[in-house]
């Protein structure tokens, strides 16, 4: 029996009835991926360390959180809707005993936002319980679901993550061990999946053959060395773990009392890391390619300054994701950097919506202009992306009302013209402003004096890595993993796009 220590009611049982999920109220950004964490450390309080790891990964998902710990053959599970700090407290963590743990913080991409879909997903096998936390999105979900249903699997949730867990259980119950069964299941999965799995025998970390979503390995000091898995290095830093390396595309790492073992389960790995992880999703203090993403984002700003300079008095970024690029723009252009917008960092997701009159008068819950900085100034505002354009237009209007005489917008990525199918919610294509409008038309809609995007080549060259090793399908429509027609039709609505 799996003890679940707390459950809340589903105030909004599906996305359609949740007012936050209407297009009017959704953020004008690609929505987050998920955050995963795993640890094997019998000497430590693994539940509390997982809590802090998830706390550091909170930016990757704010809808639900969960932790599963293994105490011998017994799995303790607690998951619920809400932020990490809302789902867990000292009393709950005290019940999560064990020598290993996995955790998850979720933004829903496949499966609606409700408590049944919160992770980790736990299933029973002949070898004991299996707990799974997933970052990414499968593209062959419909096929995999049909295969599982035919074998009389009773799916509890609407997530692809649970299907992966049941696929592993199916192989294990047919006689395979944990490693063999997992690898058999992964070969049935197509799309993006960075996973941490907990079993009575140990913790597993896995990436799909393209490594679309990140997953890193850390070490805890001591004898013996203990290992940690996290979506980003910021999840290691918070608990004092040292970054060791990334889990490679198509690799499975198996962490047990014996240490860490590596298995390359895919014969044809081809690295295609999501470039949006580097531009926006991952925290700026996380390390990729041996440097912080803050450094990469500053290079993006320097590059766009070289590509599209404009005379202005000050440059500033949209907090927080546009700030590093704005600093880089200032360094390269000589335009002074200033803070033109102040962000209320205590605003989370809320079900309380402003009235129509409040919306009309421009309610500013998250960003507020600094009038004395802006008045009489020609300003350059730098942001990482524009998805629908709704927030950008309101922001430009607010800057002009604050006294800016000119507003020039610079975007540190190319136009987003295609939706993501690999674990990022970028909306259907007809809601992407750059899919239906030229840059000049977008500029007119936003009412800016000028608008320029970073070139696709500039974005990739700024990585200083092999430019073929990234997925940039949201800018090009070139998907590294083939999308089944039925899935493709759900988002790729337009026959052609304007670039």
**C-alpha 203: how far from its chain's center?**
22
Sign of CA dihedral 130, 134, 140, 142: positive
- What CA–CA distance (Å, rounded) separates 46 from 33? 24
**Three-class SS state of 262:** strand
Report whether 189 belongs to an annotated binding site: no
Residue 291 φ then ψ, to 5° = -150, 160
Report whether 177 belongs to an annotated binding site: no
Contacts of 353 (CB under 8 A, 6+ apart): 19, 25
Is 189 a known active-site residue?
Answer: no
Sign of CA dihedral 329, 335, 337, 340: negative
Q: Which residue among 33, 34, 96, 327 is the active-site one?
A: 34
Report whether 234 belongs to an annotated binding site: no
Per 3-state DSSP, the chain is made up of helix, strand and coil in percentages (nearest 5) of 30, 25, 45
Cβ-contact 445, 498 below 8 angstroms: no
Report whether 420 belongs to an annotated binding site: yes
Cβ-contact 20, 348 below 8 angstroms: no
Report whether 383 belongs to an annotated binding site: yes
For Cα atoms 88, 252, 121, give the angle at the middle one, nearest 5 degrees. 35
Sign of CA dihedral 472, 476, 480, 484: positive
Q: Identify which of 272, 278, 203 has the alpha carbon closest to the alpha carbon of residue 233.
A: 278
CB atoms within 10 A of CB 336: 11
Residue numbering of the annotated binding site for [4Fe-4S] cluster: 274, 420, 471, 474
Q: Active-site residues: which are they?
A: 34
């Amino acid at each position: 029996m799996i003890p679940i220590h707390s459950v809340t009611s589903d105030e909004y049982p599906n996305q359609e009835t949740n007012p936050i999920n209407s297009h009017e109220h959704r953020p004008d950004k690609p929505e987050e991926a998920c955050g995963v964490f795993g640890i094997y450390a019998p000497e430590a309080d693994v539940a509390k360390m997982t809590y802090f790891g998830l706390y550091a990964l909170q930016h990757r998902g704010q809808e639900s959180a969960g932790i599963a710990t293994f105490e011998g053959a017994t799995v303790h599970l607690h998951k619920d809707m809400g932020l990490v700090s809302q789902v867990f407290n000292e009393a709950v963590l005290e019940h999560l005993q064990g020598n290993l743990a996995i955790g998850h913080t979720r933004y829903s991409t496949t499966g609606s936002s409700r408590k049944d879909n919160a992770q980790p997903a736990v299933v029973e096998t002949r070898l004991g319980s299996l707990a799974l936390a997933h970052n990414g999105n499968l593209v062959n979900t419909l096929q995999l679901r049909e295969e599982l249903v035919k074998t009389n699997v009773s799916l509890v949730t609407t997530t692809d993550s649970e299907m992966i867990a049941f696929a592993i259980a199916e192989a294990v119950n047919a006689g395979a061990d944990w490693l063999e069964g997992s690898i058999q299941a992964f070969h049935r999965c197509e799309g993006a999946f960075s996973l941490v799995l907990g079993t009575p025998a140990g913790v597993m970390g896995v990436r799909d053959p393209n490594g679309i979503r990140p997953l890193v390995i850390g070490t805890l000091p001591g004898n013996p060395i203990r290992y940690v898995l996290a979506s980003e290095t910021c999840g290691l830093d918070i608990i004092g773990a040292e970054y060791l390396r990334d889990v490679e595309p198509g690799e499975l790492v198996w962490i047990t009392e014996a240490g860490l073992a590596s298995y390359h389960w895919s014969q044809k790995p081809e690295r295609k890391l999501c470039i949006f992880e580097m531009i926006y999703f991952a925290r700026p203090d996380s390390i990729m390619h041996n440097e912080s993403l803050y450094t990469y984002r500053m290079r993006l700003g320097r590059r766009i300054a070289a590509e599209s300079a404009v005379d202005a008095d000050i440059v500033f970024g949209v907090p927080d994701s546009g700030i590093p690029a704005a600093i880089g723009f200032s360094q390269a252009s000589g335009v002074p950097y200033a803070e033109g917008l102040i962000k209320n960092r205590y605003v989370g997701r809320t079900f309380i919506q402003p009235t129509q009159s409040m919306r009309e008068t421009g309610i500013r819950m998250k960003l507020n202009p600094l009038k004395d900085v802006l008045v009489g100034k020609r300003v350059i505002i730098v942001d990482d992306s524009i998805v629908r354009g709704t927030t950008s237009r309101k922001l430009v209007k607010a800057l002009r009302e604050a006294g800016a005489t000119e507003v020039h917008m610079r975007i540190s990525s190319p136009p987003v013209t295609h939706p993501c199918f690999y674990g990022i919610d970028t909306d259907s294509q007809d809601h992407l402003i750059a899919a239906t409008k030229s840059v000049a038309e977008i500029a007119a809609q936003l009412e800016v004096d000028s608008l320029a995007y970073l070139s696709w080549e500039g974005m990739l060259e700024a990585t200083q890595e092999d430019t073929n090793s990234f997925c940039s399908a949201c800018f090009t429509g070139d998907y590294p993993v083939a999308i089944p027609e039925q899935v493709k039709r759900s988002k790729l609505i337009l026959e052609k796009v304007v670039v």
